[in-house]
A = this chain, B = another copy of it.
């Protein structure tokens, strides 16, 4: 990270931090490690981020996320970071990211690799993303041009909770097989990279639906 000019490291529920071995391995970058922020959950770590991209060795198109290459992802992250915060999320060395982790992400970065041997180390995956961010720095801004900054992840979580509440009120989940479809709708919001105005509009629609139902419920 430090060789590529990145400075802000977040650790989600680390087994141990600080850790003498990690500090020793960080060598001249131990200042960056010492400043790392620790979060209890991924939701907390990315709460203020407008764009959150997960990394995966496998293509996750089956999970309805657009898979970007690191080269495609870098200018989008820089553009989002210029008007707010953006994050790249890495899983653990052994198990990668869970599907639950991916719920907090707007998209997935898929590192091109040998299909017969695609098990990239965590350190190597971080290096490649950091390198692409370094290469894209100062380059043309690519991706949707936004007049309004992307909504932070925490706002998106509130929108999803609101949606869940409305779906429960209209008995949607019961008739359509549990929370699976609700998650798919939530993923559509993630993929769409909503700005704050758009979140407000969607929240307004949900509130209107609730108000309509409550009025209907109170009518004789």
Contact = CB atoms under 8 A, between A and B. Distances in A.
Contacts of A131: 111-112, 128, 131
A135 interface: yes
Given A112-B134, A113-B134, A134-B113, A3 B120 contact: yes
A123 B3 CA distance: 13
A106 to B, nearest CB: 23
Contacts of A114: 2-5, 134
What 7 A-B pairs are tightest by C-beta distance, nearest first?
Answer: A5-B114, A124-B127, A3-B113, A2-B117, A3-B120, A128-B131, A112-B134
Contact of A71 (B112, B120, B124, B135): B135
Interface of A: 2-5, 27-29, 69, 71, 111-114, 117-120, 123-124, 127-128, 131, 134-135
A120 B5 CA distance: 12
Nearest to A126: B124
Contacts of A124: 3, 123-124, 127
A96 to B, nearest CB: 14
B123 A135 contact: no
User: DSSP class of A's interface residues: helix, strand, loop or mixed?
Assistant: loop
A89 to B, nearest CB: 20
Contacts of A4: 113-114
A131 B135 CA distance: 14
Contacts of A135: 69, 71, 112
A28 B118 CA distance: 10
A114 B69 CA distance: 23
Contact of A117 (B28, B119, B120): B28
Nearest to A5: B114
Nearest to A69: B135
A200 B171 CA distance: 84
A119 B2 CA distance: 9
Contacts of A119: 3, 27-28
A118 B3 CA distance: 5
